[in-house]
Structure 1
Amino acid sequence: MKSVNNPVVSATISINPFKSVGIKLFLIIFGSILACVITIGMLAYSKTKDIVETKVSDASFQTINQVADNLDIVFKTYEDISMQFLVDKDFHDTSSALLNAEDEYSKFEATKKITDMLQYISLSNDSIKGILLLPLQEKLKPIAVGNADTSRAAELMETDWFKKIMDLNGGTYWVEPQSTGLATASQLPSIALGRQLNNSVTSRANYVLLMEIPVESISEHYSDVVLGDGSELSILDMEGNYIASNDSALIGTQAPITLPVDPEVNGADTLAKRDGNEVLAAYRSFHAMDWRLVGTIPVQELVKAAHVIRDVTLVTALLAALIAIAIGYLVILTIARPIVKLSELMEEGASGNLTVRSTLKKRRDEIFRLSESFNRMMVQISELANQTTQSAEQVLATAGELTESSRRTALSAREISVATEEIAKGATSLAMESERGSDLSFHIQSQMKEVMTANEEMVRSAGEVELASKSGTDHMGALMQKTERTENMTRAMVEKVDALKDSTTSIVKILDVLNNLTKQTNILSLNATIEAARAGAAGKGFMVVADEIRQLADQSKQSIDIVAGITERISGEIEETVNVLSEAYPLFREQVESVKEANGIFLSVQGQMGGFQQRLDDVTSSVAELEKSQNVLAEAMTNVSAVAEESSATSEEVASLSSEQLNVSEGLVKLSEQLDAVSRGLKETLTKFKL
């Protein structure tokens, strides 16, 4: 056996410490213990949290139910107050008398009686801010007591909630706080009860009752109810908007939680707010309206007691981590370090040192058996390397001789092949260029014919264009005369419309005088009515005359207003006509100039088309001469192409034979080079081993 004592190149593979067997075992033990402790602790924490939430949820829902029942009683009280008006015969009789009253005194008496009724109700309940009766008949006027304002009656009767009250036809409707306020001028938020007061006998309604109640008086009924730390009680509508809240700035805004749409659904749920925090929400709908009483408690406040379990879990996890570290260190000493040492010996053997042997102490386990197997493997590999080295040296000598002979043969064949290919390429290129020249000649000939045809068409078109230019010049002259006549007519129309505008101004002045006379007649009629009222029964006849005068004055005023409106529309239309004509006049001036310029262009085109037609005739003659020369060139290119194709065919046959010989020689050289490379690689590989 021949030993090779060449120095061994170290090729130790670097291993990431965090991917070693010892670290993996440590992480498995550490993670298993820590995961068990944290899982059990978190399950206990989660279960405790759920129990706390369930208990508080039940208690909160019961509280919300009680508060909602109390508020239903309060709302029912207000509905009963409105019912008093609905069933009060005296009220309906008085409102009917007010509707049918013919004199001012009767109206005054009926209005005072209704006001006393409203005042009694308002004073008997301090929580009512104001009461407003909105009239449904044209002859009636709004009536208000308390802080209610009758000046807003027309505005309130145009709102959506007023239309909903009318649709209920005697049913109660609760109006949520409005940004523009309700019946009173106060800026404090308030709600209102609305009801159409139908007469039970005639089924006819004269008024709609609007009873306004401050939100603060409703909130006082549950202000002392506390569900827990950070809790909040509020009233929401079905769209989730605040009706009542501890913070008055929130009233009318969207609540941060989303409740079920169905008003029949009541209960307590854990909901997420828009800011991501969770709250326990207990809610119940009122019987009187589609509003909800909602109580919310932050979940974070509920589970404070459960945080103790979480803290104990973290401490236990810390102790478990320390125990896992101790167990992992013991595993590294007894298992990981011997495996690492044996791995280093294998890497040294893999780098070429076949003399390494394991020296681990005898241990009755799998690691010792692995060490013994490694020693036996290294002995067998050393013997195999010696035998392979001897065989490689013999193969290398034979491969060198074969490679040199093949290289000389291939070199001669390559030179012949290159020369033949150059000849074939030259002949092929000549044939291709000849064919290409011939094709171009025929193509040019066809293009010449098309050019001649196009020139002839252009000559005919030029003549037609010249005739059209003459006709266009004549038409442009006639158009210029008509445009000047149109300009004169437009100027005269502007002057007549200005005169008509002055006339409408005089009519407006006369209407102002008539309007002043109508106002003075109204004032005289009112004074006459007052004097007739003072005279009592003796002045009734004079009062009738005064009423007739007032009616005539009103009719005159209406007629004057209608005439004034018509005059104003006529004046506006005259003004618009003047403006349009003023804008059109400059356009007519521009049109005249444009027509003159177009006429000059037609004259210029007519002169240039004559010269253009003469040039087209010259071009046609030149193209005919060029076509004769092209025919001669095409015939010559056809002869050259035939000769080039014959030469190219002969050269390709010779090149094919040379190429086959070159391929055989190159294949022989490649095989020789491969044999030589394999022999040298085998020898170089074996020299790396230390035997």
Structure 2
Amino acid sequence: MKNVRLENPVKSVGMKLFIMFFVSILFFVLTVGLTSYNISKGVIQRKVADASEQTVIQAGQKLDLLYGIYEDLSLQIMLDNDLKKMLDDKETINKSSYDYLQLRKSLSDKLNVFIYSNKTIRSLHLLSKEGEPITSSGSGSFQNSVQNEEWFKKIIDANGKALWLETKPKGYADQSGAPTFAIGRSLKSSSNNNVQAVMLMEIGIDTLGKEVDQINMGEGGITSIATGKNKVVYTENKDLIGADSTTPLTEAALQENSGNLLSAKGDMQIVYYKSAKTDWFLVGAMPVGELVKDAKVIQGMTWLMAFIAAIIAVIIGFVVARQIGRPIVMIRNLMKEGEQGNLRVRTNINRQDEIGQLGASFNQMMEKITALVQQTNLSAQEVLSTSTELSEASKKTAMSAKEIAVATEEIAGGASSLAVESERGNELTAQIGQQMKEVIQSNVQMGTAASEVHKSSEQGIQYMSELIQKTNKTEQMTRSMVEKVDKLKESTRSIRKILEMLNNITKQTNILSLNATIEAARAGAAGKGFMVVADEIRKLADQSRQSIEVVGQITETIQREIDETVGVLSQAYPIFQEQIGSVKEADEIFKQVQDQMGGFINQLEEVTESIQKLDQSQVVLSDAMSNVSAVAEESSATSEEVASLSNEQLNISNGLVKLSEKLEELSNSLKESLSKFTV
């Protein structure tokens, strides 16, 4: 028996059964193992996240107690009567006097009392409502106004409520100091509720570090305090303070008081607590890999069991493939020989299972095919002789039908050409009629437009007359403006002389104040009051000198602009003269347009009459072409019907010839195919 090999062994039944057993066992083992791993990982992660959340909540509540201490202290400062009285007195004392210096010292001493009561406070500052520094206690002080600082504006807008300010890496007052966060309040007067001062309390971040650093987030974990805008208030890494948080909270989390979530990449477990005092977030972040590292034992066991299951699957698959695959290959080889025409092949499988039944069915099938081939061979001989006679009769019928169809097509072609030409003439007539209507409509629109242009030219002549009159008035006004500017020029010269005289007076006042100061210094303590008066006179003289210089600069600017105005007006006067000439020429052009439009309207009326006569002739021509087209179409339809019947008869005859030929070919082919079988 001849063996036949498969071109691709992977497509064999044995190999498919082997792959099916292998993949099924491995799939179920891996599915159960990895599912157990993922469930265990999720449970561990959830439990650790819940425990960490409770730890962060407790730490956050301790921080709220700490924040409350500073808020109470700031409220105590705001309600201190001695401090309020000193701030009221500040408004009535001259800032350049000795008493004002004593008041600032008293305020500083008062602030020192509060700092000594709490060693964690870095510094206390009092600022005016305009942002000017009043006094400071502790490390650092403000040197310039902070009115434009965003945090200062927020304190003013808080209207006396405590406002917590985020950490600045170098502090608020001393820009070279250590990082501090702050609390601010507006101090108001008891009598009129006006803002007396703005209090700013700077606190070192070590205060937060003592509480936050005690929270253990595990290896690789991070604990920090951040604002609602994800700005870092405190973290163990001082370089990140004031920057954007590396573990930002989502918009949904910012609305909750506490909770836990995963980072955007899914690699960090985040727990948070929102402070009821500051609205800051205490955030703890832990690497997910560290949380679930104990669950990796299940993952390792899963891969080990998968390796053992793979070996078992290979053994089972090999046995099954050998018991089922070999007999199927044998039947396959026998069927290949039967395919090549050998109908004598038979199987010798004596098994009682489905494969044995398949072998017996194969033998019966080959017996029946052999009998069928013998009977078919006899029938094919009879069909071949009958198809030859049918083919000759069909060829004669087809030749006759072909000659009739050719004659009928020539008649139908002539009728169709006549109908097409008639239809084309009718379409051209309709197009001419449509174009005539468009010409008539365009002619009417042209007449209307010509009448409107005629009216517009009359209005243009009227407007040009008014424009000539207004241009003449403009020329007179320009001439008058030049004269008034010259007078204004003389007035500025007089102002400059007055300013020179005031400047001399200011210089004399400075000399007198200097002499008064010298005399007051000679008089000693008795001349102290006179020295203050002399100093005020000198300041007043300096202010007068500065004002005179400003007025002098403004006067010079006015003088320069007046000179430029005179030059521009001098250049504009000749242009006005040319404008008057151009307006008169335009008036003459409008009059000529009006005369020519009158003649154009008369010519349009004559063209309209000619077009109306042409339209009537076109209607008569259209009716005649419609009658011709109807007759031609009726003739064409009758010819086409006859041609269609002739073509149908020809197609039937040709089909009959082809069927006869095909039957003859099939008979020959069947005879050749049956000759290949060995019976």
| 8 Å Cα contact 1:466-1:610 kept in structure 2 | no
Q: Does 1:182 align with 2:172?
A: yes
Q: TM-score, normalised by structure 1?
A: 0.75
Displacement of 1:379 in angstroms is: 1.0
Q: Does 1:133 align with 2:126?
A: yes
Deviation digits for residues 230-281 of structure 1 (CA, Å, limit 9, x no counterpart): 12121122343311112334333144242664677435x3x3323x142233
Displacement of 1:398 in angstroms is: 0.8
Q: Does 1:341 align with 2:330?
A: yes
Q: Distance in 2 between matches of 1:645 and 1:220?
A: 107
1:227 aligned partner: 217
| 8 Å Cα contact 1:101-1:107 kept in structure 2 | yes
Q: Does 1:242 align with 2:232?
A: yes
Q: Does 1:355 align with 2:344?
A: yes
Give 1:87-236 correspondences, 5 Å limit: 87-101=79-93, 104-122=97-115, 127-136=120-129, 142-145=134-137, 146-156=139-149, 159-168=152-161, 172-177=162-167, 182-186=172-176, 188-197=178-187, 206-223=196-213, 226-236=216-226
C-alpha spacing 1:654/1:261, structure 2 compared with 1 (3 Å): closer
Tell me which of 409, 412, 417 is aligned to 1:421.
409
Amino acid at match of 2:372: L
Number of aligned pairs? 672
Deviation digits for residues 162-213 of structure 1 (CA, Å, limit 9, x no counterpart): 1354252xxx332112589633333643210223445779877633321112
1:371 aligned partner: 359
Amino acid at match of 1:357: R
| 8 Å Cα contact 1:237-1:292 kept in structure 2 | yes
Q: Distance in 2 between matches of 1:205 and 1:654?
A: 112
Moved more, 567-576 or 660-669: 567-576
C-alpha spacing 1:581/1:420, structure 2 compared with 1 (3 Å): farther
Deviation digits for residues 126-156 of structure 1 (CA, Å, limit 9, x no counterpart): 5433211123499x96212230215234334
Query: Share of identical aligned residues, percent?
Result: 44
Moved more, 254-263 or 614-623: 614-623
Displacement of 1:80 in angstroms is: 4.8
Q: Distance in 1 between matches of 2:144 and 2:150?
A: 12
Give 1:562-577 correspondences, 5 Å limit: none
C-alpha spacing 1:210/1:642, structure 2 compared with 1 (3 Å): closer
Q: Distance in 1 between matches of 2:467 and 2:500?
A: 49
Moved more, 542-551 or 206-215: 542-551
| 8 Å Cα contact 1:29-1:328 kept in structure 2 | yes
Displacement of 1:680 in angstroms is: 4.7
Displacement of 1:357 in angstroms is: 2.4
Amino acid at match of 2:238: S
1:320 aligned partner: 309
Displacement of 1:115 in angstroms is: 0.9
Q: TM-score, normalised by structure 2?
A: 0.76
2:13 aligned partner: 21
What SS is found at the alignment partner of 2:77? helix
1:7 aligned partner: none
Displacement of 1:536 in angstroms is: 10
Q: CA RMSD in A?
A: 5.5
Amino acid at match of 1:78: Y
Q: Distance in 2 between matches of 1:431 and 1:495?
A: 89
Amino acid at match of 1:131: L
Displacement of 1:53 in angstroms is: 3.5
Deviation digits for residues 322-357 of structure 1 (CA, Å, limit 9, x no counterpart): 222222122221112322332343344345443332
1:397 aligned partner: 385
Q: Distance in 2 between matches of 1:264 and 1:464?
A: 78
Amino acid at match of 1:192: A
Moved more, 477-486 or 381-390: 477-486
| 8 Å Cα contact 2:232-2:241 kept in structure 1 | yes
What SS is found at the alignment partner of 1:256? coil
Deviation digits for residues 531-574 of structure 1 (CA, Å, limit 9, x no counterpart): 88998997799699879979998998999899899989989998
Amino acid at match of 2:287: P
Give 1:404-553 correspondences, 5 Å limit: 404-434=392-422, 436-437=424-425, 440=428, 444=432, 485=472, 488=475, 492=479, 495=482, 499=486, 502=489, 509=496
Displacement of 1:27 in angstroms is: 2.3
Amino acid at match of 2:400: S
Amino acid at match of 2:358: L
Q: Distance in 1 between matches of 2:504 and 2:118?
A: 51
Displacement of 1:382 in angstroms is: 1.1
Q: Distance in 2 between matches of 1:303 and 1:133?
A: 53
Amino acid at match of 1:31: V
What SS is found at the alignment partner of 2:182? strand
C-alpha spacing 1:438/1:127, structure 2 compared with 1 (3 Å): closer
2:268 aligned partner: 279
Deviation digits for residues 407-445 of structure 1 (CA, Å, limit 9, x no counterpart): 211221121122122112203322442464366468658
Q: Distance in 2 between matches of 1:653 and 1:679?
A: 39
C-alpha spacing 1:339/1:464, structure 2 compared with 1 (3 Å): same
C-alpha spacing 1:373/1:648, structure 2 compared with 1 (3 Å): closer
Amino acid at match of 1:231: G
Q: Does 1:39 align with 2:28?
A: no
What SS is found at the alignment partner of 1:148? coil
Q: Distance in 2 between matches of 1:82 and 1:201?
A: 20
Q: Distance in 2 between matches of 1:637 and 1:263?
A: 85
Deviation digits for residues 355-393 of structure 1 (CA, Å, limit 9, x no counterpart): 332244x33322122111111111111101110121122
Q: Distance in 1 between matches of 2:578 and 2:255?
A: 73
What SS is found at the alignment partner of 1:147? coil
Displacement of 1:110 in angstroms is: 2.2
Which protein, 1 or 2, shows the higher relative CO under an 8 Å CA cutoff with sep ≥ 6?
1
Q: Distance in 1 between matches of 2:448 and 2:72?
A: 99
Deviation digits for residues 86-144 of structure 1 (CA, Å, limit 9, x no counterpart): 45443333333334446933333222111112234446655433211123499x96212
1:299 aligned partner: 288
Q: Distance in 2 between matches of 1:526 and 1:382?
A: 145
Deviation digits for residues 277-325 of structure 1 (CA, Å, limit 9, x no counterpart): 4223343344542223222221112333333432333233223222222
Q: Distance in 2 between matches of 1:157 and 1:446?
A: 77
Amino acid at match of 1:311: G
